[in-house]
Amino acid sequence: MQAALSLSVKNLTKMFGNFTAVDNLTFDVEDGKFFSILGPSGCGKTTLLRMIAGFYQPDNGSVMIQNKDMKGIPPDKRPVNLVFQQLALFPMMNVYENIAFGLKRRGERGPEVKKKVNIMLERVGLPEYGSKKVTQLSGGQKQRVAIARCLVLEPEVLLLDEPLGALDAKLREHMKVELKKLQVKVGTTFVYITHDQSEAMVMSDYVAVMNSGHFEQLDTPQTLYNSPASSFVTQFVGENNKFSVNLVKDESNVFFAETKEGFRYHLSDSFNLQDSESFDMFVRPEAMIINPSRPKPNFNIINADVKAILFDGGNSRLLVTPEKSEEELIVALPQNRQFDYIQAKDSIKIGWDPDAAVYFKQADERIYKDEI
């Protein structure tokens, strides 16, 4: 049996002049799921969200919420609510009035409103905060009030427009976990847009990676990370080392990847770009093993110089340059004291299993325009 769909988007398109912001998108979100749309700024994710909320009219296609077509229905009549990037709490009202605002617009009055607001305040961990002014709250508390203000209306879908963007790093880490726990607790479908891949991965059941108006891939975070479907996803989700290589064949008809310096690398069995001359090979930093002791026979091993140690606690990495090359590679540096002997300017060996690499045709697109 198929699970009920909270949100169903079909062939959705939005143009601004000649610019296609959202390009023929089709996807479904099941009831009660945490669904993220991940993409760089300008990829059309905010436009998509605003069309679901009803602030923009699509040029083509439809938005269905709980199997009801939302065409022509204004934002105040849709069973969805939007948590704004700037939160948009009403500064002239206190916390209680902010949360009760939507209920009052529905004509609810009296003790019922009070009960609902207080239950919601408790649920987001802010009991006794009703009479506080919005300006008295910290960033994280404002966040929770903004979410409570929407959830109290029991929307079918809660839309969140990068609500963690304005918080500082430590609080953001904390709120990621809080938000995930809250979503599990209330069971409302969340549609969350962000440019931060870590936010999307940590919280979501499904992530759609969006690029110039279309979805590159829609999958679970694990699948996105381990088997990216395109060059864009590979580069945007998590870190990756990129090798631009040519395809060569040796005397016994075995394919190899050859760098412009002439190094040859083994390819995985699943390699399927046999018809292209050149391609990109991607290897995750954590797939790169420092000084491998007992490698498999087809392990790729290169000699490299350590340029710098990028110490960052559990996320520490080495910046290395393969010999005779200008390229820079990033290698995960496990902090289990095993590699404490490595110093900058040391020569080390780096190895990886060809099965851990992924291969895509060369794409000249850049994720960020200001990237060199």
Partner 1 sequence: MKSDRQPIRWSFFIFFIPVFLWLFLLIVLPHLELLRMSFLGSRTSTFTLNNYKAFFTEPIYWLTFVRTAMYSILVTFIVLVISLPVAFYITKISSFKLQGLLMVLILVPFWVSELIRVYGWMILLRESGVLNSFLVGIGIFKEPVEMLYNDVTMVMGLVYTSMLFMVVPIIGVMGNLDDSLIEAAHDLGAKKIVIWKEIIIPYCMPGIMSGSIIVFMLVLGSYLTPKLMGGKNALWFTEQIYNQIIVYFNWNQGSAFGFLLLLLSSLIIWIALKLTRQEFSKVVK
Interacting residues with partner 1 (CB under 8 A): 53-55, 74-77, 81-82, 84-86, 88, 90-92, 101-102, 105-106, 149-150, 153
The H or E element that residue 95 is part of is helix 95-105
77 vs 170 by CB, closer to partner 1: 77
Query: Taking the complex as a whole, how short is the minimal distance between the CB of residue 76 and partner 1, in angstroms?
Result: 5
CA distance 200 to 256: 35
106 vs 324 by CB, closer to partner 1: 106
Place of tokens 């879908």: 157
CA distance 206 to 343: 41
CA distance 190 to 163: 12
48 vs 150 by CB, closer to partner 1: 150
Token reading at 249: 């064949």
101 vs 299 by CB, closer to partner 1: 101
54 vs 354 by CB, closer to partner 1: 54
Query: Taking the complex as a whole, how short is the minimal distance between the CB of residue 358 and partner 1, in angstroms?
Result: 40
Q: Which amino acid is at 166?
A: A
Judge contact between 169 and 122, C-beta under 8 A: no
Query: Taking the complex as a whole, how short is the minimal distance between the CB of residue 83 and partner 1, in angstroms?
Result: 9
| Count of C-beta atoms within a 10 Å radius of residue 26 | 13
Strands, DSSP E only, in the chain?
Answer: 5-16, 19-30, 34-38, 60-65, 68-69, 80-83, 157-161, 189-194, 206-211, 214-219, 241-249, 255-258, 264-266, 278-283, 289-290, 300-310, 317-322, 329-332, 347-352, 358-361
Query: Taking the complex as a whole, how short is the minimal distance between the CB of residue 75 and partner 1, in angstroms?
Result: 5
Judge contact between 155 and 65, C-beta under 8 A: no
24 vs 86 by CB, closer to partner 1: 86
Q: First CA to last CA across the chain, in angstroms?
A: 49
134 vs 358 by CB, closer to partner 1: 134
Token reading at 154: 């029991």
Query: Taking the complex as a whole, how short is the minimal distance between the CB of residue 162 and partner 1, in angstroms?
Result: 12
Query: Taking the complex as a whole, how short is the minimal distance between the CB of residue 118 and partner 1, in angstroms?
Result: 18
Please give the DSSP secondary-structure letter assigned to residue 4: P
Query: Taking the complex as a whole, how short is the minimal distance between the CB of residue 153 and partner 1, in angstroms?
Result: 7
CA distance 154 to 171: 26
104 vs 249 by CB, closer to partner 1: 104
57 vs 86 by CB, closer to partner 1: 86
Query: Taking the complex as a whole, how short is the minimal distance between the CB of residue 238 and partner 1, in angstroms?
Result: 32
Judge contact between 228 and 217, C-beta under 8 A: yes
Query: Taking the complex as a whole, how short is the minimal distance between the CB of residue 194 and partner 1, in angstroms?
Result: 17
